[in-house]
Amino acid sequence: MGEKMDTGKAREPALLSERDKRILSRLQLFRNVDLNNPAFNELLNQCSYRELKSGDALLSIDKENHYLYTVISGRCVVQLGHSDETPLAIVEPGECVGEMSIIDSRVPSAAVYAEESTLVLEIEKEMLWRMVGISHEVSRNLLYIMSERVRYSNLVIADSLEQQRKFQHHATIDALTGLHNRGWMNDVFEREIKRAERENLSLCLMMLDVDHFKKYNDDFGHLAGDRALISVAEAAKAPLRTNDLLARYGGEEFSVLLPETSMEQAVIVAERLRERISRADPGIHDGVQLPKLTVSIGIAEYKSGSSLKTLVASADVALYQAKNSGRNCIKIATDG
């Protein structure tokens, strides 16, 4: 029969009784199998039952497995490793475990523990293949069991990928405005700058800052300020091309990267942005019509050797010049 795991207590069953046959016929592996077949009956009588106490390991991720186990009574849990981890799946009476490690001759990919007092039928690898040779029904049942296992694994993988997509979304999207955030900007803007260097393309960066925003918050409250920032973000998206990149830099400051754009073209886009934002309606808050906002804009043009850091610094200098010139206007950096 091969080496048994040192967990639990094994006992040899008596010859199959009618009651045993009724119990076994309800197991996935023996569904529609002729248990009265003398050759098959003989193989079953060479298998062992194994009794497990709660917490006993049936399969381990660091030990080879040579058996297929089918649960007669009780219940087992499938876990990535230790018994105190959150279960991946529950193994109910009639279900099997261990078939995948038998097929691919690898250690189990997950551990299996008894959740309560459990009785399993233990079928050694060679015995299982002999059963398959005798009964087409066992072959069909084993294929069904494996297909269900693969289907479940695919669902787990799909769910994991969906969770990863959600995490990635939250990691790159500003929760308030729905724009990309500064982390995304640092990655994507830098790549566009490298592309401009590599392909000798023009490129401009704009920094936008909402005028008198602290006073706006003080006068109308932070919730009103949030509504105002959302309206600015929505207005800023409208005049941009599909390949232009917009992000919330932080607080009331926004950044726009304009690939393949000269300074002359960037000034035109900036003026459209400034004018569009100045007309945006923040809406009504607590029964009060919120006043419209304006932005100051600084623009820096890419020059060979520029980095995102130097472009932001240049655009910031121009931005503060715009603020010192009365706000609600555009200034151009004198260096890139």
Give the Å distances, CA to CA, from 142 to 31, 68, 135, 189, 259.
Answer: 10, 10, 11, 53, 58
Contact criterion met (CB below 8 Å) for 123 and 113: no
Rounded to 5 degrees, φ, ψ at 289 are -70, 120
Q: Which of 46, 6, 160, 254 is nearest to 246 (CA)?
A: 254
* Catalytic option among 115, 124, 252, 301: 252
Q: Is 245 helix (H, G, I), strand (E, B) or coil?
A: strand
Give the Å distances, CA to CA, from 41 to 73, 172, 216, 241, 328.
Answer: 21, 62, 85, 74, 90
Task: Write the single-letter amino acid at 312.
Answer: V
| Radius of gyration of the chain, Cα coordinates, nearest whole angstrom | 34
List all residues 6 or more positions away from 130 whose beta carbon is below 8 Å from its beta carbon.
43
271 catalytic? Reply is no
Angle at 101 between CA 131 and CA 22, to 5 degrees: 40
**Sign of the dihedral through C-alpha 104, 106, 111, 117:** positive
| Sheet of strand 295-301, all strands in order from the earlier edge strand to the far edge | 245-250, 253-259, 203-210, 295-301, 330-332
| Residues carrying an active site annotation | 252
